[in-house]
Amino acid sequence: MLKGKTVVLGVCGGIAAYKAAALCSKLAQAGANVRVIMTESAVKFVAPLTFQTLSRHDVAVDTFDEKDASVVSHINLADSADLVIVAPATANMIAKMALGLGDDMLSTTLLATEAPIFLAPAMNVHMYAHPAVQHNMNILAQRGVRFIEPGTGQLACGYVGKGRLAEPEQIMLEVSGFFAEKKLLQGKKVLVTAGGTVERIDPVRYLTNDSSGKMGYAIAAQAKRMGADVVLVSGKTTERVPDGVEFVTVESALDMYEAVLSRFEQTDIVIKAAAVADYRPAEQAPQKLKKNNDELTITFVKNPDILQTLGQKKHGQFLVGFAAETERVEEYAMGKLRKKNCDLVVANDVSADGAGFGTDTNIVRIYDAQGLALQLPIMSKTDVATRILTLVASRLGSNKGAG
């Protein structure tokens, strides 16, 4: 997977920099073209000559040390990268990235690159847990930066806890998995619904829900990165449309029903992450309703069930539903899976901290016809999306739940 790929390895100043040398060696042995950038602090721990010998390339340290007059070094490195890994990533570099600072060779390259970025943090357990560091990591996760979790154990400072740089072997697994993911959905047509629907009462008032669209948008972005042709049908949201997807904006549940059903026959995978209104006003007032009475009575009628309709109509398509619950999560998720003929249902307790509407993280359990298929701890919605799509890809051959 790594043969011929250009990997930019950023090394920050920390005792774990010695592990970066082993990582550099493994990347080179796997066939990657490794270009190393060290911070000035990093060279206090490991000499640039070590990385030069392992990578067979000059090591970049000083932004102004331009060895090739035909290019600007940090831009050339940024443009040539298929992947950027920062290992170890210090609290300082994470903060620089979150704020968009570029005051050395590594930080300017990180600002300039459009390649995917992996960060492997390494620091004292209390530094890692500090609210500022966690806040900065959350910001970067929202921007699509992927994290390789530090290990727990004896730290160089004498503390025992979370903060050890992941082992080079673990980082290699993550990197290899990343390049493998890029082909998991190659040629597949994926339709994702996201956001909340809007049911109008009159021209200025409507009923909606708390859905932010973050989960659905993350799924659409990751499906595109995995090689799929993606259609994103979206209700109300403020999220940025992922690059390269076909975007269809809708307002009401009926709008979404028509948009999804009209595209269903040409779709291989449908992931229904939108929060769709169950009911709509029987009548929409043509003009703004006036405050003439002490009470206002509105009659509601049931909207068509998009997920259930797809479950009835599918003939080989892979169907994934979402269940946002506040109690009896497994019972309701399994009931939804059976009633609506889904292949998978992704369920979460939206009342739990770090899960549900509006958050940048989620805590989900994924169910199939046999019960719990995968349980995920709290993680960024981007990482949740990746895990969902990886599971879907692994099931496409058998598609056990297909109707």
Cβ-count burial of 111 within 10 angstroms (0-12 exposed, 13-18 middle, 19+ buried)? middle
Q: Which two tokens stand for residue 33?
A: 């073209």
306 is in an annotated binding site: yes
Cβ-count burial of 148 within 10 angstroms (0-12 exposed, 13-18 middle, 19+ buried)? buried
236 is in an annotated binding site: no
336 is in an annotated binding site: yes
Q: How far apart are CA 81 and CA 19, in angstroms?
A: 21
340 is in an annotated binding site: yes
305 is in an annotated binding site: yes
44 is in an annotated binding site: no
User: At 7, phi and psi to the nearest 5?
Assistant: -115, 120
278 is in an annotated binding site: yes
Closest listed residue to residue 110, CA positions, set 144, 134, 135, 84: 84
Per the annotation, the verdict on 24 as an active-site residue is: no
As annotated, the binding site for CTP includes 278, 288, 304-307, 322, 336, 340
Annotated active-site positions, please?
157
Binding residues are 278, 288, 304-307, 322, 336, 340
